[in-house]
Amino acid sequence: MDNKTRTMKISINDNKDVFINSARLDVIPGRKYKASTQARITKGNPYCAYFAVFLLSSDGTEVARHIRWLNDISSNMKEYKIVFTADPKAANAVIGYRMNIETPIKGDIKMECIDIGSIELRQAVPDDNEDFDDINKFIAPYIHSLTPKQEDIIERKMLWILGNMRSGTTWLTNELLNHPDNLIWLEPKIMDHMALLKYEYYKDNKNYFFTNQQRNNWIPSMRSMILKRAYSQFNDFSKNIIIKEVLRSGADLIMQCLPKSKICFLLRDGRDCVESLLDIRRGSSWLKDDWEIRATRTELIRWASHGWNNSTNNISKAYKNHDEKRRILLKYEDLRDNTVSELMKLYELLNIKISDKEIINIAEKYSFNNVPDSQKGPGKFKRAATTGGWRKTFSKEEIDLMNSIMGDTLQQFGYEA
């Protein structure tokens, strides 16, 4: 580091999130580049901070990310280097520092490093081999058992967003609940794992590991495992943990383990869910597999209808058995048409003090109408956000098929079958 290089000092308390970005820099696809920084870290945890180069397409979408973990907490000045080949879709690059954002560990940090404006992105020489860390390959440090008080805090801070596929759970979790007091955990799939245990089928078998007869000897341990895993994800006792799960079964079992947590049951007309599922699982859509390509339209409708029916009934069971002070049922149709009033109910459940103006701003910012045209429409993750579209999409025979499977459950929740 020469005398002309500017440095910056970073001090983070309370595990706060910090990100620092450079201006956009032009890159040429297929060309090899190099970026480096130097940092002296006197306080922190491994895997709670990294140096990165983010590659963006011409419309600003991230197409690749190359990082270097800032893991040397020895108080020595150390160089961190990234060498990479620009993605074929890349048009620009942004150099940045990330602390406690999209990291497996969080922590307080004290660091001196090169100012982001002084870091150059240079064309690499032929002898430079690609050199960066894989953000997904790490082993988080072992966390010792939480105290009973700590477990209680985390459990009370949990809110489970439960719903079917295509019912608006991502919109609600990732966008409408995007608030400084909330931590977001998208689909840890613990409920999928519980469903695979076939608990409902085997629970009365005395030899089954998770037999109901022995619930007092395994539920407390399962509870502790889930809470410890949640803490290892966020390292935070002060914020709400918003957990989105899309499932067929397993909700009631998880809620038995975590009775002090909260539930938001997000419900949508099953026929709209089926219509949306057919769109994303056909043609050139973003989500499909071999079976779905080979399956007939009728087979897909039947499969999706049974999925909605089973999932809704399983979530409903968990919801009904849960403490009424710790649960809320929202309908997608109401959330879409009356976003402000419905969202206010959920923020009240989370004990977040928020003004009407803030709620209105959130609702407007994440309205479907404000999604760029390039990111919505048929085959896209954000497709239409309509209600009742199934009436025009399906034939009478297809509607009769859906109603024969979902009709009783639809009527139970006030949908006309």
The structure tokens 């409408």 sit at: 176
Whether 52 is in a domain gets the answer yes
Residues 315 and 281 in one domain: yes
- Angle, nearest 10°, between helix axes 148-157 and 215-234? 70
Residues 309 and 271 in one domain: yes
CB 188 within 8 A of CB 243: yes
Chain segment 295-354, per-residue pLDDT in tens: 788 999 999 999 999 999 999 999 999 999 999 999 999 999 999 999 999 999 999 999
Choose the final residue of a domain: 123, 139, 172: 123
- The CATH number linked to 403 is 3.40.50.300
Q: Looking at the predicted structure, is the pLDDT value of residue 277 above 60?
A: yes
pLDDT band, very low/low/confident/very high, at 286 (cuts 50, 70, 90): very low
Whether 417 is in a domain gets the answer no
Choose the final residue of a domain: 123, 158, 182: 123
Helix (H, G, I), strand (E, B) or coil at 217: helix
Whether 142 is in a domain gets the answer no
Residues 49 and 163 in one domain: no
Q: Looking at the predicted structure, is the pLDDT value of residue 141 above 90?
A: no
pLDDT of residue 5: 77
How far apart are the C-alpha atoms of 113 and 35, rounded to whole Å?
A: 14
One-letter identity of residue 246: V
Whether 140 is in a domain gets the answer no
- The CATH number linked to 71 is 2.60.120.260
The structure tokens 């079976």 sit at: 291
pLDDT of residue 369: 67
Residues 400 and 302 in one domain: yes
Whether 211 is in a domain gets the answer yes
The distance of Cα 357 from the centroid of its chain, to the nearest Å, equals 26
Helix (H, G, I), strand (E, B) or coil at 411: helix
Give the phi and the psi of residue 416 in degrees, each rounded to 5. -75, 125
Residues 157 and 269 in one domain: yes
How far apart are the C-alpha atoms of 283 and 292, rounded to whole Å?
A: 10
Residues 184 and 104 in one domain: no
How far apart are the C-alpha atoms of 63 and 34, rounded to whole Å?
A: 18
Residues 152 and 117 in one domain: no
CB 19 within 8 A of CB 101: yes
Q: Among 45-59, 88-102, 360-374, whose mean pLDDT is lowest?
A: 360-374
Residues 251 and 386 in one domain: yes
Residue 385 neighbours by CB under 8 Å, 6+ apart:
171, 336, 368, 376
pLDDT of residue 385: 54
Residues 341 and 223 in one domain: yes
How far apart are the C-alpha atoms of 260 and 152, rounded to whole Å?
A: 8
pLDDT band, very low/low/confident/very high, at 14 (cuts 50, 70, 90): confident
Q: Among 81-95, 104-118, 245-259, whose mean pLDDT is lowest?
A: 245-259
Question: Cα dihedral sign for 10, 46, 238, 346?
Answer: positive
- The phi-psi region of residue 309 (left if phi > 0; otherwise alpha if psi is between -120 and 50; otherwise beta) is alpha
pLDDT of residue 375: 45
Residues 67 and 162 in one domain: no
Percent of the chain with pLDDT over 70: 89
Instruction: Judge residue 123's burial from the number of C-beta atoms within 10 Å of its C-beta, 0-12 exposed, 13-18 middle, 19 or more buried.
Output: exposed
One-letter identity of residue 203: K
Residue 393 neighbours by CB under 8 Å, 6+ apart:
275, 278
One-letter identity of residue 117: G
Domain containing residue 38: 7-123
Residues 161 and 235 in one domain: yes
Total domains in the chain come to 2
How far apart are the C-alpha atoms of 330 and 30, rounded to whole Å?
A: 48
Choose the final residue of a domain: 90, 123, 156: 123
Chain segment 88-114, per-residue pLDDT in tens: 999 999 999 999 888 888 888 999 999
What's the helix, strand, coil split of the chain in %, to 5? 40, 25, 40
CB 267 within 8 A of CB 387: no
Helix H, strand E, coil C: the string for 210-269 is: CCHHHHHHHHHHHHHHHHHHHHHHHCCCCCEEEEEEECCCCHHHHHHHCCCCEEEEEECC
* pTM value surpassing 0.75: yes
Whether 138 is in a domain gets the answer no
Q: Which residues in 315-334 are b (16+ Cβ under 10 Å) and which e?
A: bbebbeebeeebbbebbbbe
Residues 270 and 315 in one domain: yes
Whether 76 is in a domain gets the answer yes
Whether 118 is in a domain gets the answer yes
